[in-house]
Every structure is written in C-alpha cells, then in structure tokens.
Amino acid sequence: MRRLAVIAALALGVSTPALAENPQFQGADPHALMIDGELWVFPTGGPVGAWDADRFHAFSSRDLKTWRDRGELIRREQIKWVRDDGAPERFLWAPGVATKDGKWYLYYSLGPNTPKPSHIGVAVADRPEGPYKDSGKPLLTGRQGFEAIDPMVFVDPKSGTPYFYAGGSAGSTLRVFEMNPDMVSFKREVQVEQPPFFTEGAFMHERNGTYYLSYSHGRFNGPSYSVHYATAPSPTGPWRYRGRILASDATHKGPGHHSFVQTPGGETLIVYHRWENPSGPAPYQGERQVAIDRIRYARDGSILPVKMTDGAAAPTLKPKG
C-alpha cells in the first residue's frame, strides 16, 4: 500500500510519507548528486513513467524518507533533432548531470540503437530542476561496434578537467573524451583500454587520490546484471580490475546502472536500480525500482561487496559534523 501512496504522491508533485524504505521509488538508471545538502536523483522514467520515457523528472530528499518531485526537466518534443535521422521512434533514458560555472548540464541517451544508431544529447539550464534547453544537435552518435548510451561527466578535482564517459550494450565499448570548457563539445577523445566485464553504465569517482571506474555487466533484464569496478591513478586509466561489488541475491535481481554520492555526514552511498522479486525467469517484466545502499571501503581502498537492504534498513541522510 505504501508503494501506491509513493507513486500517487510523486505524481502530484508532493512529498511522500516519512518512512525510510528500500526500494525508494519506481525508476531506472539513477544519477545522484548532493545539492545544497539534499540528495537529488535523475532517473530514467520514474513513478509515473516507463523506462522508455519521453521526458525526464528529478526527485530530491533531505533525509531519504520523503521525496519531492522537482518537475519536468525536458521532454522529447523539445529536442528538435530527434527525428532528423529518420528513425521511426526515439526514447529518452540514462541521464547524467554535471554543473560548472553556475550552469547545469543534462546529458541523455536517445535510442534505441536500431534501426538507426543511438545518440547522446546535452541540454543546459540555470538550475538543477531546469527547465533545460537542448544544445540543438547530438553530442555523440553511435557507430559500428559502439552504442552511444549512458553518458557520465566527471570533473577531475585535481585538474578541473571535465571528462565524458559513454558506451555499452551493443559492442560493450567504453569511450572517454576530454570536454571543452563549454561542456557541450569535445576537445579530444582519449584512447582507453576496455575494462574487464564492461557492458554499460560507467561511473567515475575519486577518493584519496585514487580514481574508481565502476560499471554494469550483463543483461539489464536478467540475473547477470551486476556492478564491477577498477581503479586507476588518473581518470583515464590504466585500469586495475578490482572485482564485483553488487550482484543479484535471493530476492533482488539485476542490480546496476548506479552512481556514487558522498553525503554531508561523510557516508558514501550507491544509488542504483534493481528488480524486486521478479516472477518467472529472465527476461524480467515490469518496472525496475531505485534503491540506495551504503558503500564501505577497506583499509587498502578497495570497495567491500554491497549488501542490498529493504525497508527501514535503508540508509538515511545524516547531518554534517
């Protein structure tokens, strides 16, 4: 019953009841950011939309108990070049968000990859909740052996250089670019080795001088979907494969397409999607759910395997200090 209350409340743009719970709400491919002490989630779809969505919303929480629908960021009809390649249908998914010099940048996948190649676009806003205005053209287009999906932008805290990561599924190829200061074009492509077990959904974060490249492996709607990671001395490698940190268990299947976020209280969280008790074998049917769990590091900097939680065992946001 509470899940229905959450869906109805978010659809109306109001807060949900004050009960911490995993999963948090319906959605997939969540990109999470801390903004002014509040955790924002930018997913594919959401409580009122399917994974092959025609628009993006953002949801935010100060405690991971109540969630606020921040409204519509952009919809497909506002992207003028959607039909330029003659594809019969296009959907929006897997957003990534970055900020620089007071502007906000929404990177998004436009697919499917057949019969025409997929694209990645970018839109710009003055606020994280938008409204976002599209740049007017694709930022990156797929090609043979590379599917242009799952964008993620990481600004190196050491150099201030923005790096763009994308790719997966068809070809399972990761590509990395150094971006121009305008954040809507590339300066150059950086040749990188392909990480072991890479399929899609790359995410980069840095901790104590070590760069962590994490990514999803396997088929998105099956039990093999999981999160693996590698470390490097720079945002572009060379990668040292470190293992799998998030995998299916008895009741949660296909966890992946995640992001890491550090809370004001110093905790690191992983925000991801999963299938809850799917009925029958893969491919799973229905909708994926957004969940949030804790990340723990060993003394050597390695990431300990993530234990997926339910209900009140889900993390909450702790105040700073």
Q: Does the active-site annotation cover 29?
A: yes
Task: Classify each residue of 12-34 as buried b or exposed e, where b means 16 or more C-beta atoms within 10 Å of its C-beta.
Answer: eeeebeeebbbbbbbbbbbbbbe
Q: Residue 114 in 3-state DSSP?
A: coil
Residues in contact with 158: Cβ distance below 8 Å, sequence separation at least 6, in sequence order: 206
Cis peptide, bond prior to residue 115, ω within 30 of zero:
yes
Q: Work out the number of other CB atoms within 10 angstroms of the CB of residue 208.
A: 6
Closest CA to 288 of 117, 32, 47: 47
Q: Residue 10 in 3-state DSSP?
A: helix
Q: Does the active-site annotation cover 200?
A: yes
Q: How far is CA 65 from the centre of its chain?
A: 20
Cα–Cα dist 229/297, whole Å: 13
Of 21, 129, 147, 200, the catalytic one is 200
Helix boundaries (H) for the chain: 2-11
Cα dihedral sign, 266-239-271-278: negative
Closest CA to 252 of 312, 198, 306, 317: 306
Q: Work out the number of other CB atoms within 10 angstroms of the CB of residue 176.
A: 21
Of 21, 29, 69, 129, the catalytic one is 29
The strand pairing partners of 206, in sequence order, are 211
Q: Work out the number of other CB atoms within 10 angstroms of the CB of residue 35.
A: 16
Q: List, by residue number, the catalytic residues.
A: 29, 200
